[in-house]
């Protein structure tokens, strides 16, 4: 049976819990990527809890909407979200990045609910387009979502795929950019500026939504609105904060790919319990 | 009667179109070179199952991988050098790591591409494709074999790389010859040396064997159309029968057929061996015949190598 849309308040509550579990999972593994995982929590929750048709009990259900994780390093948020929706037991999160585990460092199709193994950047959107083209040929009407990192947009392959989606009028493709504005070695606008990002996508023939990526209400409104867009693909540029919810991680490139130690974990969990990581918004 | 030489790319184009008539699941994706790869034969009959994604090789591979998830057998086509080199990371991750049912079929392999020169000639594809887990690598020797290979990879799930030629190649196999992936074909029996060749070099090997026969040297010729998985048994048997091996390919000496055979020889059947290929060099402009002569890819070069390896037995 397909997941029923959850109400926004309970999703907001779940966001706090997911951030807890992301940090615990990372600390247990001793490595991984907290920054982009914490920034995309509300995006993932909105997709799995509100927007996508999916069946955790039958991950390969033919009618499911597909989500392609192009930024494969944010496996913590992906695995924690999937576990929360019942794709596999939460207990398994303790095996993240451990030898012999299904939960590979970057997202892998061994994990129920993961559609495409990634890790090298700039691959997801073309793959999403291919699924969408194939679905159209088969007369299927499911949607294909693709989560992109902002730094990833510096890859030329993203723009090759952006042209293809527009050329073939793939209105069942929706890209979501987790626009946290920080990449591995610093702020995106200092390393290779993406602005004007909305105009770039629009000029490639995409319908563009810009939202606060930490507001589930705003995300829901944007996803709902894009259902009316026909004849062109859509992109939701979700403005977020890297490391959202943990004061010492927020906006810090140092926390792109580093796990917290036990002391840092305790501090982070304390902050989250006190109200961090709620819908208080990216700019 | 001598048959007219035909490029192996024609065999691919004709066969994929014939298969398309009975198999609705075949889809072809092109990087705007369907005229050159002959994928346009398919495009003409099945425009609804054909996508030209423009000059965007990374996109060709990624989209092909996505299409394959919907139950299609997807052929990704372009020049060998553009897909295997430019889109290597996409072939590695999208197709091989995800084990997608995509067949990368590329024309313009080798120096016989001719006048366009090094930028359009591919001499690295066997090496970089055979190193990828899940990938299988095929290079047909003539148009008949190209058709059989196209059929075989269509009907075998998972990733394949197949190289075809722009240059016309003489027809040296027979309609009734079997084509089994991973199983080499012995084209000529012999007892002194075995020449193992692929693609354009198979006809050169046969020519060399014929000339050597008149000099009293008996050469076995093996058509190793599948470079990966290599036919270990055929190599071991050849070493036992002839005690020496010469390999010949239109590819860099490093990493290709010669290397694949050498790995087997070293591990399973030590024997003296010579490798014929391009010696760590880029190609240049010229006619196919001039280039083959310049880079030592003719029957005379095989004859020389055979005489050399015999002395090392």
Nearest neighbour of A135 by CB, restricted to B48, B64, B70: B70
Contacts of residue A164 in chain B, CB cutoff 8 Å? 53-54, 56, 59, 63
User: Is the Cβ–Cβ distance between B292 and B168 less than 8 Å?
Assistant: no
Contact check, Cβ <8 Å, B63/A122? no
Nearest neighbour of A131 by CB, restricted to B49, B66, B97: B66
Contacts of residue A115 in chain B, CB cutoff 8 Å? 69
Q: What is the number of other CB atoms lying within 10 angstroms of the CB of residue A283?
A: 8
Distances (CA, A) of A116 to A75, A153, A210: 12, 18, 26
> Is A164 in the B-facing interface, judged by CB distances under 8 Å?
yes
Question: If you write DSSP's letter for every residue of chain B in order, what string do you get?
Answer: -PPPPEEHHHHHHHHHHHHHHH-TTEEEEESS-HHHHSTHHHHHH-GGGEEE--S-HHHHHHHHHHHHTTT-EEEEEEEHIIIIIITHHHIIIIIIITT--EEEEEE-BBGGG-TT-TTT-BSSHHHHHHTSTT-EEE--SSHHHHHHHHHHHHTS-S-EEEE--SSEE---S-TTS--BTTB-EEEE--SSEEEEE-TTHHHHHHHHHHHHHHTT--EEEEE--EEES--HHHHHHHHHHHS-EEEEEEEESSSSHHHHHHHHHHHH----EEEEEE-S----SS-HHHHHHHTT-SHHHHHHHHHHHHHT-
pLDDT for res A6: 80
Structure tokens at B106: 């590329």
Contacts of residue B48 in chain A, CB cutoff 8 Å? 137
Exposed, middle or buried by CB within 10 Å (0-12, 13-18, 19+), for B4? exposed
Contact check, Cβ <8 Å, A130/B58? no
User: Is the Cβ–Cβ distance between A177 and A197 less than 8 Å?
Assistant: yes
pLDDT for res A281: 45
Chain centroid to CA A96: 18
Contact check, Cβ <8 Å, A127/B93? no
Cβ neighbours of residue B155 closer than 8 Å, sequence gap 6 or more: none
Residue linked to tokens 């290597």: B88
> Is A127 in the B-facing interface, judged by CB distances under 8 Å?
yes
Sign of CA dihedral A30, A32, A35, A40: negative
Query: In the structure, what pLDDT confidence band is assigned to residue A278 with cuts at 50, 70 and 90?
Result: very low
Nearest neighbour of B63 by CB, restricted to A109, A129, A137: A129
pLDDT for res A4: 76
> Is A79 in the B-facing interface, judged by CB distances under 8 Å?
no
A282 pLDDT above the threshold of 60: no
Structure confidence by residue, pLDDT tens digits, A182-192 = 999 999 999 99
Structure tokens at B107: 């024309």
d(CA A97, CA B75) in angstroms, rounded, equals: 34
Distances (CA, A) of A174 to A109, A144, B62, B183: 21, 6, 17, 45
Answer left, alpha or beta for residue A147, where phi above 0 means left and psi between -120 and 50 means alpha. Answer: beta
Nearest neighbour of A134 by CB, restricted to B48, B70, B98: B70
Q: Which H helix or E strand runs over A45?
A: helix A41-46
Structure confidence by residue, pLDDT tens digits, B102-150 = 999 999 999 999 999 999 999 999 999 999 999 999 999 999 999 999 9
Contact check, Cβ <8 Å, A157/B97? no
d(CA B72, CA B88) in angstroms, rounded, equals: 22
Interface mutation vs chain B, best among A111, A130, A144, most B CBs within 10 Å: A130
A280 pLDDT above the threshold of 80: no
Strand order in the sheet with B273-278: B185-188, B219-223, B193-197, B245-252, B273-278
Nearest CA in chain B to A117: B98
- Among A49, A39, A42, A40, smallest CA distance to A2 is for A49
d(CA B250, CA B42) in angstroms, rounded, equals: 28
Sign of CA dihedral A102, A108, A110, A114: positive
Query: In the structure, what pLDDT confidence band is assigned to residue A174 with cuts at 50, 70 and 90?
Result: very high
- Among A209, A200, A212, smallest CA distance to A244 is for A212
Cβ neighbours of residue A157 closer than 8 Å, sequence gap 6 or more: A122, A123, A125, A126, B58, B59, B62, B90
Weakest-pLDDT range from A5-14, A182-191, B8-17, B217-226: A5-14
Question: If you write DSSP's letter for every residue of B196-241 in order, what string do you get?
Answer: EE-TTHHHHHHHHHHHHHHTT--EEEEE--EEES--HHHHHHHHHH
- CB interface of A with B, residues 166-185, below 8 Å: 168
A234-239 and B6-7 as β-strands: parallel, antiparallel, unpaired? Answer: unpaired
Contact check, Cβ <8 Å, B51/A133? yes
Nearest CA in chain A to B67: A130
Query: In the structure, what pLDDT confidence band is assigned to residue A283 with cuts at 50, 70 and 90?
Result: very low
pTM of the model: 0.96
Query: In the structure, what pLDDT confidence band is assigned to residue A279 with cuts at 50, 70 and 90?
Result: very low
If you average pLDDT over residues A216-222, what whole number do you get? 96
Q: What is the number of other CB atoms lying within 10 angstroms of the CB of residue B25?
A: 16
Q: What is the number of other CB atoms lying within 10 angstroms of the CB of residue B236?
A: 16
If you average pLDDT over residues A273-277, what whole number do you get? 72
Q: Using alpha carbons only, give the angle B134, B140, B141 rounded to the nearest 5 degrees.
A: 150
Structure confidence by residue, pLDDT tens digits, A151-163 = 999 999 999 999 9
Chain centroid to CA A200: 21
Nearest CA in chain B to A135: B70
Interface mutation vs chain B, best among A67, A107, A111, A126, most B CBs within 10 Å: A126
Quick check: is B57 catalytic? yes
| Residues forming a β-bridge with B194 | B220, B245
d(CA A100, CA A83) in angstroms, rounded, equals: 18
**Exposed e or buried b for every residue in B166-199, given b needs 16+ CB within 10 A?**
bbbbbbbbeeeeebebbebbebbebebbbbbbbb
d(CA A265, CA B84) in angstroms, rounded, equals: 45
pLDDT for res A5: 79
Residue linked to tokens 């072809």: B28
Exposed, middle or buried by CB within 10 Å (0-12, 13-18, 19+), for B225? buried
d(CA B59, CA B74) in angstroms, rounded, equals: 14
């Amino acid at each position: 049976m397909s997941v029923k849309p959850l109400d926004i308040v309970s999703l907001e509550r779940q966001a706090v819990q997911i951030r807890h579990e992301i940090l615990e999972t990372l600390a247990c593994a001793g490595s991984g990527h907290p920054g982009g995982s914490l920034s995309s929590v509300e995006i993932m929750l909105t997709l799995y809890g509100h927007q996508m048709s999916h069946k955790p009990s039958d991950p390969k259900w033919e009618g499911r909407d597909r989500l392609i994780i192009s930024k494969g390093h944010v496996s913590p948020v992906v695995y924690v979200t999937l576990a929360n929706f019942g794709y596999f037991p939460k207990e398994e999160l303790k095996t993240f990045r451990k030898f012999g585990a299904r939960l590979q460092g970057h997202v892998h199709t061994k994990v129920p609910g993961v559609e495409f193994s990634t890790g090298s950047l700039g691959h997801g959107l073309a793959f999403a387009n291919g699924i969408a083209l194939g679905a159209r040929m088969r007369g299927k009407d499911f949607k294909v979502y693709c989560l992109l990192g902002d730094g990833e947009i510096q890859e030329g392959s993203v723009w090759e795929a952006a042209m293809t989606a527009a050329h073939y009028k793939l209105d069942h493709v929706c890209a979501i950019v987790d626009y946290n504005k920080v990449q591995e070695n610093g702020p995106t606008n200092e390393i290779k500026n993406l602005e004007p990002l909305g105009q770039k996508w629009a000029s490639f023939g995409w319908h563009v939504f810009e939202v606060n990526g930490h507001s589930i209400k705003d995300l829901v409104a944007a996803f709902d609105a894009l259902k009316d867009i026909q004849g062109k693909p859509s992109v939701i540029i979700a403005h977020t904060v890297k490391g959202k919810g943990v004061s010492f991680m927020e906006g810090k490139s140092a926390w792109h790919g580093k796990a917290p130690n036990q002391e840092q974990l305790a501090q982070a969990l304390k902050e989250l319990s006190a109200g961090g990581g709620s819908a208080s918004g990216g700019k | 009667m001598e048959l007219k030489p035909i490029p192996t790319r024609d065999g691919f184009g004709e066969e994929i179109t014939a298969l398309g008539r009975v198999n609705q699941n075949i889809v072809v994706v092109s990087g705007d070179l369907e005229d050159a790869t002959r994928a346009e034969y398919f495009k003409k009959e099945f425009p609804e199952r054909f996508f030209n994604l423009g000059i965007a090789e990374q996109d060709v591979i990624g989209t092909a991988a996505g299409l394959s998830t919907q139950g299609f057998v997807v052929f990704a086509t372009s020049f060998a050098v553009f897909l295997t080199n430019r889109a290597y990371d996409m072939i590695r991750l999208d197709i091989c790591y995800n084990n997608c049912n995509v067949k990368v079929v590329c024309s313009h392999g080798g120096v016989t591409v001719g006048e366009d020169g090094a930028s359009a000639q591919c001499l690295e594809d066997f090496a970089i494709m055979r190193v990828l887990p899940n990938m299988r690598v095929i290079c047909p020797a003539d148009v008949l074999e190209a058709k059989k290979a196209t059929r075989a990879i269509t009907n075998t799930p998972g990733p394949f790389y197949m190289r075809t030629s722009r240059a016309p190649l003489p027809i040296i196999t027979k309609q009734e010859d079997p084509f089994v992936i991973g199983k080499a074909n012995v084209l000529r029996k012999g007892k002194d040396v075995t020449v193992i060749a692929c693609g354009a070099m198979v006809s050169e090997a046969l020519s060399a064997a014929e000339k050597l026969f008149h000099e009293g040297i008996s050469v076995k010729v093996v058509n190793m159309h599948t470079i990966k998985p290599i036919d270990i048994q055929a190599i071991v048997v050849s070493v036992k029968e002839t005690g020496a091996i010469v390999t010949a390919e239109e590819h860099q000496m490093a990493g290709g057929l010669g290397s694949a055979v050498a790995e087997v020889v070293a591990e399973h059947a030590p024997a003296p061996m010579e490798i014929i290929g391009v010696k760590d060099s880029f190609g240049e402009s010229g006619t196919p015949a001039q280039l083959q002569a310049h880079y030592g890819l003719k029957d005379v070069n095989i004859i020389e190598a055979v005489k050399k390896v015999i002395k090392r037995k």
